[in-house]
Chain A
Amino acid sequence: MQDTEPVIVVERLSKRYGDLLAVNDVSFTVNTGEMFAFLGPNGAGKTTTVEIIETIRMPTSGRVTMLGMDVATCKAAIVRRIGVLPQGFSSFDRLTVRESLRYYARVFGCHADIDALMDLTDLRGKADAQFKTLSGGLKQRVGIAAALVNDPEVIFLDEPTTGLDPHARREVWAVLKGLQSRGKTIFLTTHHMEEAELLADTVAIISMGRIVAIDSPTRLTERHSDHLRLTLTSSDAAAFALIQTMGFSPTRAADGSIVVTVKRADDVRSLLDAMDRAGLTVGGLDVRKPNLEEVFLKLTGEQLAQSSKVSAR
């Protein structure tokens, strides 16, 4: 990442609405070709930050440069080089998919290959369907296609899968992975842990207007995980006692399996070795490290998933 150019540089950005400090002294950098995810619950300041970067909103203080230009002063030049899927995207109800995309292409004054865009977002079959007749997943894909008409260098996707069912969500993810493989810089905001874990190169966790952690999903979980959770079943009653004598504090789960919290991966090995030497059988075995969800909970004290507003619109 060190040898790539920064596309977006955010320095000490703040945005205030009356008494509410929606974004509080946020700084980060997004590099070329990176899939950058902004992860946080609703109201954390994700959309406000993104809309400032997209030139829709003005910062209260701080500085944001995009492609080397200041977002507060170079709106016209910047919007030509970015593509945006706003939160809750919608288009003109009575226009067909093809007409919508053609409109956005004309607005940018570019000769976009509409058919190719529809192929990329798997919309060919719906080319002549009016927007209002489309399902949520299809509408989002129209929004993604509309964000691509000007062949942008940076693509912003604000909650691209919010409100979609799991199937539609996977379809959108497939499209995003396709974009990623074309080397586009993608700025994603989401409150879906799975989405960030699956797609992002870098995850910034934002809570109450502040960035509390920023790194790759793997390193975030590694750095903030201080334990592994080992679940095993054994038919020998001695197993529980043996684990206790090794200095661990096992607990019995409701189904009779033994749950042990260990510090390192090595502990798992020595524990299993000890059981093997004692001639104890080991049935089911499951080792889990904490996922982003747990990291998030630990860092912010907030729950992510329950705040999803699936039926908000």
Chain B
Amino acid sequence: MTPRIVAATLVVRTKSFYRERSTLFFTFAFPVILVLVFGTIFTTPEHRTFELPVQDNSRSEASAKLLEGLATIDAFKVVPVPLDTDAKQYAKERKLNLLLVIPSELDAMLKRRFVERDVGASVPLTYIHDPSSTSVNTKIQLLNSIMAAANQAATGAPPMFTLVPESILAERYRFIEFFVPGIIAMAIMTSSLSNALNMNAELRQKGILRKLATTPVTRTDWLVSSILYQLILSVVSTAAILLVSYLVFDVRLHIDLWLPLIVFVAVIAFVGIGMLLTPFAKEAESASAVANAFLFPMMFLSGTFFPVEMMPGFLQTFAKVLPLYYVNESMRASMIFGDNAATLRSVGIAGAFAAVVFVAGTFNTRWADESE
């Protein structure tokens, strides 16, 4: 290895990179935009208010009280639905995914229950909903818990079980704190794997590698400069993601020496995978297809956007053979939980994986020779 050649090659690649606007965007701006978008969507659900259309067919004192009760909960803002319309048709026409119907017999039923002491008397509150809507479940859950509380209160006795929250974290932990480490890992994976793949395919296709092979540039020089280049990109994109997360969402994350180590391990692992895949991507065009075939399943299965625990069992088992899972785990263990033992365990597994694929990838990449 010649440091002079490594440095010169690094300069060339860095220059090529910042002069190419599209790669600049996908490497730095894209993960930052993801943080901004997902952070905005998921960080403030506690302050979110849903409109709840209600058709009050009872129009009694009791129904007014019920509506008042719904309105005191921040989550719902009651919107009256005209009485002379068919509620189902109304919801359909207006694309409402949840509509509550208070029956006209509300008053009568309440009287039977509380005045005549008829325990069999109950009030069916119909909710008309669109099961295909993803946000409706949250609203129905809210509605259910309100009704459960109302039912419990109606018995007149204090509740038997109450839930007392106690966090294992010293600080508050929101979705954004979960999300940011995942996005850092995703950004490193995407740029390391696809650069390793694209760069090689492109340089080979263009004959640049053939030219380099007739100069004192060795394969080691080239690999070392590739790794350094990828490290620089990863450090800059990690810094950009963290900066935006701190400025916009005021995230609370532990940044310590684990982070650079995890970044390094991730770069080696994904550059290694990229090199292993090189023989399947001889042309630059097929390279991005091959890269995406690996990137997307990894991204979704390794807990980048949501915790792995949310997936069915067999997918969880599958996730545990993916390197990104361990990178994510180690990022979160160190940045959210500050758990050194857990971080070390995940970094260790990711590091062993990185070493194996990198060495295999090195043997697998041919240096412009014997390729045809």
Q: Which residues of A contact B (CB under 8 A)?
A: 17, 54-58, 76, 79-80, 82, 84, 86-95, 99, 103-104, 106-109, 130, 143, 146, 156
Q: Is there contact, CB below 8 Å, between A90 and B216?
A: no
Q: Which of B11, B213, B217, B372 has the most CB of A within 10 A?
A: B213
A84–B4 alpha-carbon span in the complex (Å): 21
Contacts A84-B214, A88-B207 hold; do A93 and B16 have CB atoms under 8 A apart?
A: yes
Contacts A56-B369, A57-B369, A107-B8 hold; do A92 and B216 have CB atoms under 8 A apart?
A: no
Q: Is there contact, CB below 8 Å, between B216 and A146?
A: no
Contacts A92-B16, A94-B20, A99-B12 hold; do A107 and B207 have CB atoms under 8 A apart?
A: no
A2–B252 alpha-carbon span in the complex (Å): 81
* Chain B residues whose CB sits within 8 angstroms of the CB of A95 once the complex forms: 12, 15-16
| In the complex, the 10 A-B pairs of residues with the closest C-beta atoms, listed nearest first | A84-B214, A90-B206, A94-B19, A106-B8, A94-B16, A86-B210, A56-B213, A88-B207, A107-B215, A90-B207
A54–B5 alpha-carbon span in the complex (Å): 20
* Chain B residues whose CB sits within 8 angstroms of the CB of A143 once the complex forms: 211
A17–B372 alpha-carbon span in the complex (Å): 9
Interface: B370 (CB within 8 A): yes
Can you list, as one digit per residue, whether each of B1-32 has a CB less than 8 Å from chain A (1) or not (0)?
A: 01011001101100110011000000000000
Q: Is there contact, CB below 8 Å, between B207 and A86?
A: yes
Q: Is there contact, CB below 8 Å, between A86 and B216?
A: no
Question: What bracket does the count of chain B residues touching chain A fall in?
Answer: 20 to 34
Q: Is there contact, CB below 8 Å, between A56 and B8?
A: no
Interface: B208 (CB within 8 A): yes
Shortest beta-carbon distance, A219 to chain B, in Å?
32
Q: Is there contact, CB below 8 Å, between A55 and B214?
A: yes
Q: Is there contact, CB below 8 Å, between A57 and B211?
A: no
Which chain B residue lies CB-closest to A130? B19
Shortest beta-carbon distance, A248 to chain B, in Å?
51
Q: Is there contact, CB below 8 Å, between A89 and B8?
A: no
* Chain B residues whose CB sits within 8 angstroms of the CB of A87 once the complex forms: 207, 210
Which chain A residue lies CB-closest to B214? A84
A87–B370 alpha-carbon span in the complex (Å): 15
* Cβ 8 A contact of B8, one of A55, A91, A103: A103
14 CB < 8 A contacts A-B: A56-B210, A56-B368, A58-B370, A79-B216, A80-B216, A82-B214, A86-B207, A86-B211, A89-B211, A90-B206, A90-B208, A103-B9, A107-B212, A143-B211
Which chain A residue lies CB-closest to B213? A56
Residues of B192-218 at the interface with A, using a CB-CB cut-off of 8 Å, are: 206-208, 210-217
* Chain A residues whose CB sits within 8 angstroms of the CB of B207 once the complex forms: 86-90
A257–B12 alpha-carbon span in the complex (Å): 64
* Chain B residues whose CB sits within 8 angstroms of the CB of A79 once the complex forms: 214-216
Contacts A56-B368, A103-B8, A106-B5 hold; do A94 and B15 have CB atoms under 8 A apart?
A: yes
A89–B203 alpha-carbon span in the complex (Å): 11
* Chain A residues whose CB sits within 8 angstroms of the CB of B210 once the complex forms: 56, 86-87
Which chain A residue lies CB-closest to B18? A94
Q: Which residues of B contact A (CB under 8 A)?
A: 2, 4-5, 8-9, 11-12, 15-16, 19-20, 206-208, 210-217, 368-370, 372
Shortest beta-carbon distance, B354 to chain A, in Å?
28
Q: Is there contact, CB below 8 Å, between A91 and B214?
A: no
* Chain B residues whose CB sits within 8 angstroms of the CB of A109 once the complex forms: 2, 4, 216
Shortest beta-carbon distance, A1 to chain B, in Å?
27
Which chain B residue lies CB-closest to A76? B216
A156–B215 alpha-carbon span in the complex (Å): 13
A143–B4 alpha-carbon span in the complex (Å): 22
Which chain B residue lies CB-closest to A100? B12
A54–B364 alpha-carbon span in the complex (Å): 23
Known interface pairs A90-B211, A108-B215; 18 further A-B residue pairs with C-beta atoms within 8 A, sorted by A's residue number? A55-B214, A56-B369, A76-B216, A79-B216, A84-B211, A90-B208, A92-B16, A92-B208, A93-B16, A94-B16, A99-B15, A103-B9, A103-B12, A106-B5, A107-B212, A108-B216, A109-B4, A156-B214
* Chain B residues whose CB sits within 8 angstroms of the CB of A80 once the complex forms: 216
Shortest beta-carbon distance, B5 to chain A, in Å?
5
* Chain B residues whose CB sits within 8 angstroms of the CB of A94 once the complex forms: 15-16, 19-20
* Cβ 8 A contact of A57, one of B206, B217, B370: B370
Q: Is there contact, CB below 8 Å, between A91 and B208?
A: yes
Q: Is there contact, CB below 8 Å, between B12 and A92?
A: yes
A86–B11 alpha-carbon span in the complex (Å): 23
Q: Is there contact, CB below 8 Å, between A146 and B15?
A: no
* Chain A residues whose CB sits within 8 angstroms of the CB of B213 once the complex forms: 56
Contacts A56-B368, A94-B19 hold; do A106 and B215 have CB atoms under 8 A apart?
A: no
Shortest beta-carbon distance, A57 to chain B, in Å?
6
Which chain A residue lies CB-closest to B367? A56
* Chain B residues whose CB sits within 8 angstroms of the CB of A107 once the complex forms: 5, 8-9, 212, 215-217
Q: Which of B4, B15, B216, B369 has the most CB of A within 10 A?
A: B216
A103–B215 alpha-carbon span in the complex (Å): 11
* Chain B residues whose CB sits within 8 angstroms of the CB of A146 once the complex forms: 211
* Chain B residues whose CB sits within 8 angstroms of the CB of A108 once the complex forms: 215-216
A79–B213 alpha-carbon span in the complex (Å): 9
A186–B203 alpha-carbon span in the complex (Å): 26
* Chain B residues whose CB sits within 8 angstroms of the CB of A76 once the complex forms: 216
A89–B295 alpha-carbon span in the complex (Å): 32
Q: Is there contact, CB below 8 Å, between B214 and A56?
A: yes
